[in-house]
Amino acid sequence: MELQDIKAVYFIGAGGIGMSALERYFLALGIKVGGYDRVPTDLTRQLEAEGASLHYEDNVELIDPCFKDMDHTLVVYTPAIPKDHSELQFYAAGGYKLHKRAQVLGTLSRAMKALCVAGTHGKTTTTTMAAHLLHQSNVGCNAFLGGISKNYGTNYLYSETSPYVVVEADEFDRSFHQLQPWATVITATDPDHLDIYGTEQAYLESFSHYSSLVQPGGALILHTGLKMQPRPQEGVRVFSYGRSGGDFHAENEKIGGGEIVFDYKSPLGNIDNVRLGVPVSINIENGIAALALAQLAGAKPDELREAMANFQGVVRRFDFKVKSNSHVVLSDYAHHPEEIRQSIMSLREVFGGRKITAIFQPHLYTRTRDFYREFADSLSLLDEVVLTEIYPARELPIEGVTSELIYDNLRPGIKRHLIRKGDVLDLWPPIRPMCL
């Protein structure tokens, strides 16, 4: 089915962050959008307000007839949906062509010049930052983001005129192999999703294959020190980047007083006095990568400097909820040991000698099973750790895999708690009103 033939799109797993960006794309085109998810959320309610027809019971009878026209309906599903889902089975048995989210995103990205960000961590912030830089410039962009931009209150940006689309390239289920970037950043290749890949070698090979998909004439921008072996096609420019080394890097950093300013050094043209709108040190590297993509697309230095200063960040990515002389409270989606380590080191750098406590809910049984020692090592950099039950997402429990694995491997002497998530605020009555 060609995209121009589509009159309706039905999403199974409509409330996912990646799925919702596609829903907003089709809604922007005036195409009917509907779908299913398990529970209503703030995001699904926003989608309904924007025109999507959603329901929250796996029931074929609840599917509107307009989404049963086989010749003009596109059905999109997420890999998190179980194979025995009745609505998925209905469309499969009926001969409808089913598409994974990544396939649809790949088709859309190939119709434009795709600027992609891949990597174990940092990709959501870097993608959103790059999209913001371009949206604020003369270039403009479309964007499919893996988080909600605080500048725009959405994970999707639309442009009628820009040839560029900014895409978060997700390695889960090898989704990013559906893309053909014009330019891409690879932020990190620390092993993850071993329930899919099995081994670190297979994970690294997946990134090597992804690097071969960059179009000739485009660019591959690699963080310094990656373990993967890049395989760019002939005609692809290859660059490196890092905080203090690489083709794109920072110099003359000034950190203090709640601000971070640095000089951006680039083979495409230097930009002095870049001020981070979200001043945490991990965003220096994220900002360098985003600036590189935006420069490749043609954004101008003054545009980039101004946009970086007014970047507000991403919901749940170093998302400050409270800032006072007595307490700082932030929400962060860091869910990989190395990501957590970098987040903690950034906080140490910005907030000096202040006590840092983390409330951590492990994400996935498999990830906890595979990396509980590494999680414990990273969390042991804190002053105090509060561990709650594992968030299962798409997974069923694994016998013997609980948060206690991490708890038992924390550094001796570190203050620790193992509690239910619902009991977290009871630990700190003085700040409870600030968090609510």
- Residue-wise pLDDT for 348-364, tens only, equals 877 777 888 888 899 88
Tell me if 414 is assigned to some domain. yes
A 10 A CB-CB count for 95 gives 7
Tell me if 107 is assigned to some domain. no
Instruction: Report the CATH number at residue 380.
Output: 3.90.190.20
| Residue 418 reports pLDDT greater than 50 | yes
Same domain, 299 and 362: no
Tell me if 314 is assigned to some domain. no
SS3 251: strand
CB 173 within 8 A of CB 338: no
- pLDDT at site 392: 85
- pLDDT at site 433: 46
Same domain, 138 and 259: yes
Same domain, 73 and 152: no
Q: Looking at residues 326-331, what average pLDDT do you find? A: 76
Looking at residue 434, its amino acid is M
Listed residues 259, 288, 309: the one ending a domain: 309
Confidence tier at 429 by pLDDT (50, 70, 90) = low
Same domain, 270 and 403: no
Tell me if 177 is assigned to some domain. yes
361 or 297, which is more confident: 297
Same domain, 142 and 236: yes
Q: Which of 13, 14, 142 is closest to 80 using CA atoms? A: 13
| Residue 255 reports pLDDT greater than 70 | yes
Same domain, 232 and 122: yes
Same domain, 134 and 281: yes
Same domain, 166 and 219: yes
CA 385, 338, 353, 313 torsion: positive or negative?
negative
Instruction: Report the CATH number at residue 59.
Output: 3.40.50.720
Q: Quickly tell me which residue has 């089975």 as its tokens.
A: 89
CA distance 155 to 314: 9
Q: Looking at residues 404-422, what average pLDDT do you find? A: 88
Supply the pTM of this predicted model. Answer: 0.83
**Structural domain boundaries enclosing 430:** 319-435
Tell me if 105 is assigned to some domain. no
Same domain, 297 and 342: no
Instruction: Report the CATH number at residue 175.
Output: 3.40.1190.10
Tell me if 131 is assigned to some domain. yes
Q: Based on the structure, what is the number of domains in the chain?
A: 3
